[in-house]
C-alpha cells in the first residue's frame, strides 16, 4: 500500500495538465484501478476478523490519501492554468471585468460617422474629394467672383503651383455634378483650411460636411424637411429650426439655418449668447450658374446644398463647451468618448 501511494505521488508530481491527473485517478481509483483491485483481489475469507478490520482500515486510509493527493494536484494545476488562461479556474464569469481598456474615438470622427449613417439612410452617397483643390472648383465654378475677398492671401493657403488648400467642402459640388450628373444625392465630409489666426472660436484646419441634392422640382421645403429629419436623428428629439437670409454666391436664395438652443431650450444661456438660437447650418438652393458649371439642365433640375461645421455639431451633440478641447491633446477629454462595443 505504501508503495502504491508513493508511486501515485510521483506520477502526480509529473502531471502537467488536468486531463493527465484525471487519467491517474482512473489508473489508481477507477473501476480497474490498482487501489480498487487491491481490495477486490483480496480473499477476505482467509483473514481473521482482526486482520479483516485492520486491512479494511488501512485500505480506506490509502483511498482517502490517494483522493487527497489527486485533489491537491488538481488545485495546483487549476491555479497555474488560470493564469495562462487555459483551464477553467473556477472564476466567477458573471463578475464585471476589472481592467479592460477600449480605445476612444475623437468626437469629430464620431459625429461624422453618425451623420454619414443618417444621410445614407436618406439615400445620399458619401464622397470625399480633394484637400488640395484648384481655384476653379473652390471658387470660379461656385460663382465666387475673381475679386472676392475669400480668394485673398490672408484667407486662403495658396500652393506654389497655383492650387490651394480647399477653403470649404463646397468645392466638391461641381466635381460631383460633372462626374455623376443629375439627379444626385451626395454628402462630402472632409477637412478644410483657412489662413486664420487661431483663437477660442477659430481654427485654421476644420471639418465640414457638405450636402448636395439635385432633382426635379426641388424647393426650400425639401431643404427644410431634410434638415429637420437630420437634426432630430442626431439630437434624438424634435428640434425647432428657423431660416434667416444668408449670402453665399453659390446659392440663391441662401440661408442660415438656426436651431433653437438645445442647452437652454430657447430661454437664453451662455452657449447661445442669450439669444435662444444657435446658427448651425448655412444652406440654400443651388445657384443656376453652379448647376450650369456642372452641366446640369436647369430647365429640368434644381437642388439644394448645405455645409455644416462638424465641430459645432459635435459641441451641440456632446455638450462640449470650448472649441479648443478638440485639438488640445488632453487625454482626459478624448477618453470621454469610448468606442461602444
Ligand atoms: N461653403 C460655405 C462655407 O464654408 C457653406 C455653405 C455650403 C453655404 C453650402 C451654402 C451652401 O461657409
Q: Rounded to 5 degrees, what are φ and ψ at 18? A: -65, -40
- Distance, CA of 102 to CA of 339 (rounded, Å): 7
The arithmetic mean of pLDDT across residues 162-183, rounded, is: 97
- Is 99 a domain residue? no
Strand, helix or coil at 123? coil
Residue 259 lies in a domain: yes
Q: Is the pLDDT of residue 134 over 90?
A: yes
Whether residue 6 lies inside any domain: the answer is yes
pLDDT tens, residue by residue, 284-341: 999 999 999 999 999 999 999 999 999 989 988 998 878 888 888 899 999 899 876 4
Among 40-49, 71-80, 83-92, 305-314, whose mean pLDDT is lowest?
A: 83-92
What is the three-class DSSP state of 251? strand
How would residue 19 be classed by pLDDT, with cut points 50, 70 and 90?
confident
**pLDDT category of residue 167 using cuts at 50, 70 and 90:** very high
Residue in the block written with cell 493527493? 69
Is residue 93 scored above 90 in pLDDT? Answer: no
Q: Whose CA is nearest to atom 7 of ligand 1?
A: 307
Q: Are residues 244 and 134 in the same domain?
A: yes
E strand spans, the chain: 125-126, 132-133, 164-165, 184-193, 205-216, 241-245, 251-260, 277-286, 301-309
- Please check whether residues 123 and 208 belong to one and the same domain: yes
Same structural domain for residues 153 and 254?
A: yes
Strand-pairing partners, residue 164, are 133, 158
Whether 191 shows a pLDDT value over 90: the answer reads yes
- 3-class SS at 16? coil
Please state the atom number of ligand 1 nearest to the C-alpha of residue 282.
Answer: 8
278 and 207 part of one domain:
yes
- Residues 71, 160: one domain? no
List CB contacts of 274: < 8 A, sequence separation 6 or more.
268
End residue of a domain, out of 57, 87, 117: 87
pLDDT at 86: 54
Assign 200 a pLDDT band (cuts: 50, 70, 90). low
Instruction: Report residue 331 as a C-alpha cell.
Output: 487625454
Q: Which of 191, 227, 258, 282 best tests ligand 1's pocket when mutated (most atoms within 8 Å of CB)? A: 282
Percentage of residues in the chain having pLDDT higher than 70: 94
Identify whether 98 is part of a domain: no
Quickly state the pLDDT bin for 88 (edges 50, 70, 90). low
Please state the domain count of the chain. Answer: 2
CB 241 within 8 A of CB 228: yes
CB of 309 within 6 A of ligand 1: the answer is no
Q: Does residue 211's CB lie within 6 angstroms of at least one atom of ligand 1?
A: no
CATH code at 142?
3.30.930.10
Q: Supply the range of the domain harboring residue 41.
A: 2-87
Q: What's residue 323's pLDDT? A: 81
Name the average pLDDT for the chain: 90
Q: Is residue 113 part of a domain?
A: yes
The confidence score (pLDDT) of residue 99 equals 66
Say whether both 146 and 28 belong to one domain: no
pLDDT of residue 62: 93
**DSSP bridge pairs for 306:** 211, 283
Please check whether residues 68 and 154 belong to one and the same domain.
no
* Cα(115)–Cα(117) distance, integer angstroms: 5
Phi-psi region of 240 (alpha: psi -120 to 50; beta: other; left: phi over 0): beta
The answer to whether residue 133 sits within a structural domain is yes
**End position of a domain, from candidates 87, 122, 151:** 87
53-65, pLDDT tens digit by residue? 999 899 999 999 9
Are 171 and 75 found together in one domain? no
Query: Domain check: are 76 and 125 in the same one?
Result: no
Domain match, 153 and 63 both: no
Residues 143, 185: contact at Cβ < 8 Å?
no
Are 78 and 111 members of one domain? Answer: no
Q: Are residues 119 and 239 in the same domain?
A: yes
Mean pLDDT, to the nearest integer, of 154-172? 94
**Confidence at residue 154, expressed as pLDDT on a 0 to 100 scale:** 73
Amino acid at each position: 500500500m505504501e508503495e502504491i501511494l508513493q508511486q501515485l505521488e510521483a506520477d502526480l508530481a509529473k502531471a502537467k495538465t488536468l486531463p493527465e491527473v484525471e487519467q491517474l485517478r482512473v489508473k489508481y481509483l477507477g473501476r480497474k484501478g490498482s487501489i480498487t483491485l487491491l481490495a477486490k483481489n483480496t480473499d477476505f475469507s482467509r483473514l481473521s476478523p482482526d486482520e479483516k478490520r485492520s486491512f479494511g482500515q488501512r485500505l480506506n486510509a490509502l483511498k482517502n490519501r490517494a483522493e487527497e493527493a489527486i485533489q491537491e494536484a488538481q488545485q495546483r494545476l487549476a491555479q497555474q492554468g488560470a493564469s495562462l488562461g487555459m483551464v477553467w479556474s473556477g472564476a466567477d464569469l458573471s463578475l464585471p471585468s476589472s481592467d479592460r481598456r477600449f480605445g476612444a474615438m475623437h468626437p469629430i470622427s464620431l459625429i461624422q460617422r453618425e451623420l454619414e449613417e443618417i444621410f445614407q439612410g436618406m439615400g445620399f452617397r458619401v464622397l470625399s474629394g480633394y484637400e488640395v483643390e484648384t481655384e476653379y472648383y473652390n471658387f470660379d465654378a461656385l460663382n465666387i467672383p475673381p475679386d472676392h475677398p475669400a480668394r485673398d492671401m490672408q484667407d486662403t493657403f495658396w500652393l506654389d503651383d497655383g492650387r490651394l488648400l480647399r477653403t470649404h467642402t463646397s468645392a466638391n459640388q461641381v466635381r460631383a455634378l460633372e462626374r455623376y450628373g443629375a439627379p444626385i444625392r451626395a454628402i462630402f465630409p472632409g477637412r478644410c483650411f483657412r489662413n486664420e489666426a487661431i483663437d477660442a472660436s477659430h481654427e485654421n484646419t476644420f471639418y465640414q460636411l457638405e450636402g448636395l441634392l439635385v432633382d426635379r422640382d426641388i424647393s426650400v421645403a425639401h431643404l427644410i424637411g431634410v434638415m429637420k429629419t437630420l437634426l432630430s436623428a442626431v439630437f434624438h428629439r424634435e428640434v425647432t429650426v428657423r431660416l434667416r437670409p444668408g449670402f453665399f454666391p453659390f446659392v440663391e436664395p441662401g440661408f442660415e439655418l438656426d436651431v433653437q438652443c438645445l442647452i437652454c431650450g430657447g430661454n437664453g444661456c451662455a452657449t447661445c449668447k442669450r439669444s435662444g438660437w444657435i446658427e448651425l447650418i448655412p444652406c440654400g438652393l443651388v445657384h443656376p450658374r453652379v448647376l450650369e458649371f456642372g452641366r446640369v439642365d436647369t430647365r429640368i433640375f434644381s437642388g439644394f446644398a448645405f455645409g455644416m461645421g462638424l465641430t459645432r455639431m459635435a459641441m451641440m451633440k456632446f455638450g462640449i463647451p470650448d472649441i479648443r478641447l478638440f485639438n488640445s491633446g488632453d487625454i482626459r477629454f478624448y477618453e470621454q468618448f469610448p468606442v461602444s462595443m
